[in-house]
Chains A and B, each alone.
Chain A
Amino acid sequence: MTPVPFVMQLLNALAAMLLLLSFAMLAQRRVVTLVDLFALQGAVLCAATLLLAWRTGETNLYISAALTLALKVIVLPRLLHRLIRRLGVYWDTDPLLNIPGTMLVGLMIVVFAFGLAQPISALASTATRSAVGIAVAVILLAFLTMITRRKAMSQVVGFLSMENGLFFGAMSATYGMPMVVELGVALDVLVAMLVLGVFFFQIREQFDSLDLEELEARKEER
């Protein structure tokens, strides 16, 4: 067994942390903690990007690390916290599936993601190719978070976490997306957040709740 350089070990540890945080978000019932976990995931992602930038010497990775820090660790969590305060949604009601069940489904998803990522990482020539599986798993777990929640608020956090996974995947497969795409995605996420913020108020005014079941019920009545 050849010894792995320490930077790569650290990078792998950070990737494992990302996966763990995804599971923590999957199991979390309190919306406030969910947002905190999302911010933490952003911070881990930022650290991983910085580490990779330092190792490969790619300058645009430094920029995307800065972007991650500004957007996902500072701006978005603050926006979300303010929304939570103003809307007064602190708890998600019971998720659609109980927590141990969700965990087991999540585990199966991780196995599936690792299998899915194997051909990709075999083709990739980057030093971080083993992390592609974790990136796919983070994306799918965020999907699962969105699926199992009732409240719009936690679904949005799941959506944002999915973006984290995409970002990490791009980073580990090809050392990041082109700068234009990255800036575009960052702006998209910010705008989406603002639009969704307005949308929340609209939903609440219409249905007196942020429970999206109500929207479905309305559809069936027609």
Chain B
Amino acid sequence: MRSLHWFTQVLEVAAALAAAPLFHGWVNQCRAWLQNRSAPPLLQTYRGIRKLFYKDAVIAERASPLFRIAPYVVFATMLTAAAIIPSMGTRLPFSSSADAIALVGLFATARVFLALAAMDIGTAFGTLGARREMMVGFLAEPALLMVVFVASLISMTTSLPAISERLATQALTLSPSLAFTAVAFTMVLLAENGRIPIDNPATHLELTMIHEAMMLEYSARHLALMELAAALKLFNYACIGFALFIPWGTAMGGGGPGALLAAVPILGAKLAVAGAALAVIETVSAKLRVFRAPEFLATAFLFAVLGLLVH
């Protein structure tokens, strides 16, 4: 049984690494279809990353070591986060070392390194992007924590796999607090991953960008790691959403290899639907002005706290 748990753990991390660019590509493809453009192939993200790994890295003259380390740190935190989130099975050996609050902390670590690296070179765009990212982050993080707290309050634990297991096995009830929290989580997901109401992932070199502005100075393998980390972040957020709001179908504690085998296509189906839904949200909404972002995130926080209160 223990070996199965470790196998689940390794499988989850490997699957996250392999499927994150695919999910990213799927969202892009859906967006293109909805906007009447001809879609890029599903594997485009892999190709882009592979191409970048073959190139020679160019680093600014005054860059400090922090600038070189940051991509590895950001990528490693995202991979660690993927190891904690129960995407296929809930018995993860790693999860005893970090709970949902530590997960929020991991995302915060990645953000800090990303922002510091962006400011390190001292270009105007990098600093601008870093400041905006921190503005979005300091508003999105409390909302995300509140979302986690609501789920913890319902299941009386902060360990993400345990929360997921409890939510999946409890009697099906009409829960307004979980509904509110789901809305809040979706809004946080959009903001944290640089999706359309807050940031447009498709634009470069415009005054409105946030995420891309921070990565302007990166090239080759560093940029590849950053892009992979961004794809992983989106994947991780989607999996947190599944674990909290549609936890059915993952391999629970008692399940053997059969349950794990069944969990793989179920996760694939969830991701396909979630990616399409994300593309729809992005297509129907317009990008907000940067100064409207606090309003958007305050609403997310409001939803999360309301979820906490009506529980």
Contacts and interface: CB of A to CB of B under 8 A. Distances in A.
The answer to whether A and B belong to the same complex is: yes
A107 B174 contact: no
Nearest to A102: B298
B98 to A, nearest CB: 28
Contacts of A99: 295, 298
A17 interface: yes
Interface string A2-14: 0110100110110
B44 interface: no
A173 interface: no
B288 to A, nearest CB: 13
A6 to B, nearest CB: 7
19 contacts: A3-B171, A3-B173, A10-B174, A12-B174, A12-B310, A15-B310, A16-B177, A16-B180, A16-B306, A20-B180, A23-B306, A99-B295, A100-B294, A100-B295, A106-B302, A107-B306, A110-B306, A110-B309, A134-B310
Interface of B: 171, 173-177, 179-180, 294-295, 298-299, 301-302, 305-306, 309-310
B174 A103 contact: no
Interface residues of A, number: 24
Q: For chain B, what secondary structure do more than half of its interface residues adopt (helix, strand, loop), or is it mixed?
A: helix
B171 A12 contact: no
Given A27-B299, A99-B298, A111 B176 contact: no
Contacts of A100: 294-295, 298
Interface string A92-135: 00000001100110110011001000000000000000000010
A66 to B, nearest CB: 26
B269 to A, nearest CB: 27
Interface string A130-148: 0000100000000000000
A19 interface: yes
Nearest to A23: B302
A16 B176 contact: yes
Contact of A104 (B171, B173, B298): B298
B310 A6 contact: no
Contacts of B180: 16, 20
A12 B302 contact: no
B306 A20 contact: yes
A19 B310 contact: yes
A17 B305 CA distance: 14
Contacts of B302: 23, 103, 106-107
**Best-surrounded residue of B171, B173, B180 (most CB of chain A within 10 A):** B173
A26 to B, nearest CB: 10
